[in-house]
Structure 1
Amino acid sequence: MTGTSARFPPQSEESETVPDRVLNIGVVGCAAIARRAVIPALAAEPSVRLVAVASRSRGKAEAVARRFGCEAVTGYADLLARDDIDAVYVPLPPALHAEWVARALAAGKHVLAEKPCVTDLAQAAELVAAAHDAGLLLMENFAFLHHGQHDAVRALVEAGAIGEPRHLNAEFAFPPLPVGDIRHTRALGGGALFDAGVYTLRAATAYLGPEVTVHGAVLRVDPDTGVDMAGAALVADQDGRTGQLTFGFDRSYRCACTLWGSEGSITLDRAFTAPPTLRPVLRLVRQDHVEERTLPAGHQFAALVALFARTVLDGGDFEGPAQAVLRQAALVDAVREAAGSGPGRGAIY
């Protein structure tokens, strides 16, 4: 294995100073999000060595490997069989995640899974148990949580800038996708809930807390494809703080969060998809005061990749990310159940 193995983080003080102590990572799939955002972050992170990228197509694997200076592998299983890889990033279509994340864990690899990590709670429970039993990290890729704009919101809330938080509005939607896009394919885990709605649900747990629950939902399903094109959910925590979540790929672009408190509100207009060069604007509104703050740019994918690598290399918190996977899957199931389209139930048109 090249460098220091990260499968079982070194414990000695001397090992902490080894300069070539890196996490050897492979990529299982060549999805657009991987090529556009995550693989560049992996390739640029000093604590990561990008070893190889796999595709079912030799040509696609070679094209991506040439671009990022790593090896090309034909077939996902062949990449998992390599002993020079400690961890994998899995950006496959959602319906394929459970199989390949399970196989990666069985092969002894830490896993960074593209969102949604799984398509239901039962799958999440199985994978979290497997990761726990093997002593491996399982983390879901919600990169937006690691952008500094959300730290700025939390700091203002803690300072009492909006009084007591009462309500969250989280919205993520974009114009219709091309007809052939895999997000129109139900068998692959398509649909607006898995693609956009999961962001709003994750924002709800981030701002309202881990005990948030679903109290109602609507999914508008395309009768031709069987996938949900848009939806909304009402959530609340144990103290009665509420959240209105809206998502879809059937309308103009919107990517915003507003946290509404007893004395004011805070809004982010690029809450989930701020590109690395964007200096996001935070809007603070109080009774006699409106303020817009231009925040520093941030690379949320770079921050996520660095956190993933650091957690493995330093033997950090594996339990927290695993529990987040379970909570997120439970909320997705709850939205589908509330909308009448849960596992084993018919779609709502």
Structure 2
Amino acid sequence: MPPLRWGLLGTARINRMIIPALRRSAHNEPVAVASRDAERAAAYARTWDLPKAYGAYEDLLADPDIDVVYVPLPNHLHVPWMLRAVEAGKHVLCEKPMALTPADVDAVARAADEAGVVVAEAFMYRHHPRTKHVRALIAAGALGELHLVRGAFTFVLDRPNDVRWRPEWGGGSLWDLGCYPVSFTRYVVGAEPEEVFAWQVLGPTGVDVSFTGQMRFPGGVLGVFDCGFRSRFRMEMAFVGSTGLLEAPRAFKPRPEEPMRRYGPDVDVPEPVPVEDP
């Protein structure tokens, strides 16, 4: 089977991680980039050794040699460009959040079903062996009965022109960071919350710079998380059961040198998970 050929909509910083990852895979190949500026697209293609560059997103979508489109645009542009890519018959990998409203998520799902293409949200951590190991441990009862999931994702955002500061573009810490612990909690619990509650602190531009949320799931499992742009870097999850505790540092981008740790009545051990390509 030939590799899937990828086109990138935009020259976002995250591309610096996506392009090398695609090239390390035998099943994928980055072949094109598009920008609103043709010269910028051409320069970017030269820097990253991409065969094709387009000065308009529409031109990339019209390329019959592209199988998959990656959408790392600002949040408010995700839905319109996903829909246009789907209409062009392309599979889509979109950066999170896929959309800013449930209605838009449903619209994208319907369009993908009708077109017979795959649309996925780029929550890369869900495909990491360590994430799957956490879910398997909990399902096997290694922590007893799961009672509480805690998560945090924070860093200091000191770039004044960053798109995350713009409320009209879907900025804010919940969309950018809090979505990770919310997603991880739902993943390991295997259910949707029955009740949610939250507090936020708004910054001068009107986006949430700090956010703390609570979730109550069926069976009495609770979830608590915080996220924000004004405190030191944290990226962690903890899973509390009736007989054990599992702590996962760098939960959304694991590193071998920072393994998880599991505690119990007679257990206090690291919980390493080997990976082929960390």
TM-score w.r.t. the length of structure 2 is 0.94
- The answer to whether 1:289 aligns with 2:270 is no
Cα distance in 2, alignment partners of residues 291 and 220 from structure 1: 38
Query: Residue in 1 aligned with 2:108?
Result: 127
SS in 2 for 1:160: coil
Query: Residue in 2 aligned with 1:38?
Result: 18
Equivalent of 2:223, from 243, 248, 253? 243
CA drift of 1:60 comes to 3.0
Equivalent of 1:195, from 176, 187, 192? 176
* One-letter code aligned to 1:291: V
Superposed CA deviations along residues 124-143 of structure 1, whole A, max 9, x for unmatched, are 11111111111110100000
| Contact 1:149/1:280, CA 8 A, preserved across alignment | no
* One-letter code aligned to 2:158: L
CA drift of 1:292 comes to 1.8
Equivalent of 1:232, from 208, 212, 218? 212
| Contact 1:257/1:268, CA 8 A, preserved across alignment | yes
Cα distance in 1, alignment partners of residues 10 and 259 from structure 2: 34
SS in 2 for 1:177: coil
Cα distance in 2, alignment partners of residues 214 and 43 from structure 1: 43
SS in 2 for 1:239: helix
| Contact 1:197/1:246, CA 8 A, preserved across alignment | yes
Which one is further off, 59-68 or 39-48? 59-68
| Contact 2:155/2:232, CA 8 A, preserved across alignment | yes
Query: Residue in 2 aligned with 1:77?
Result: 58
CA drift of 1:154 comes to 2.5
Where relative contact order (Cα < 8 A, 6+ residues apart) is larger, the structure is 1
| Contact 1:162/1:286, CA 8 A, preserved across alignment | yes
* One-letter code aligned to 1:42: L
- The answer to whether 1:50 aligns with 2:30 is yes
Query: Residue in 2 aligned with 1:170?
Result: 151
Cα distance in 2, alignment partners of residues 63 and 296 from structure 1: 38
- The answer to whether 1:142 aligns with 2:120 is no
CA drift of 1:298 comes to 5.5
- The answer to whether 1:254 aligns with 2:234 is yes
Name the structure with the higher helix share: 1
Distance 1:98 1:257, change over 3 A: same
Distance 1:299 1:181, change over 3 A: farther
* One-letter code aligned to 1:31: A
* One-letter code aligned to 1:27: L
SS in 1 for 2:46: helix
The percentage of aligned residue pairs carrying the same residue is: 36
CA drift of 1:28 comes to 0.7
Equivalent of 1:29, from 3, 10, 17? 10
Instruction: Count the aligned residue pairs.
Output: 277
| Contact 1:23/1:86, CA 8 A, preserved across alignment | yes
| Contact 2:259/2:270, CA 8 A, preserved across alignment | yes
Cα distance in 2, alignment partners of residues 124 and 159 from structure 1: 33
SS in 2 for 1:176: coil
Distance 1:221 1:134, change over 3 A: same
Name the structure with the higher strand share: 2
Cα distance in 1, alignment partners of residues 276 and 7 from structure 2: 25
* One-letter code aligned to 1:93: P
- Structure 1: any 5+ residue segments left out of the alignment? 1-17, 301-349
Query: Residue in 2 aligned with 1:210?
Result: 191
TM-score w.r.t. the length of structure 1 is 0.75
Cα distance in 1, alignment partners of residues 76 and 97 from structure 2: 9
CA drift of 1:296 comes to 2.6
| Contact 1:214/1:233, CA 8 A, preserved across alignment | no
- The answer to whether 1:86 aligns with 2:67 is yes
Cα distance in 2, alignment partners of residues 291 and 140 from structure 1: 34
CA drift of 1:104 comes to 0.6
* One-letter code aligned to 2:222: T
CA drift of 1:170 comes to 1.1
Superposed CA deviations along residues 209-255 of structure 1, whole A, max 9, x for unmatched, are 23224421112111x20111110111122212110011111101111
Equivalent of 2:134, from 143, 149, 153? 153
- Structure 2: any 5+ residue segments left out of the alignment? none
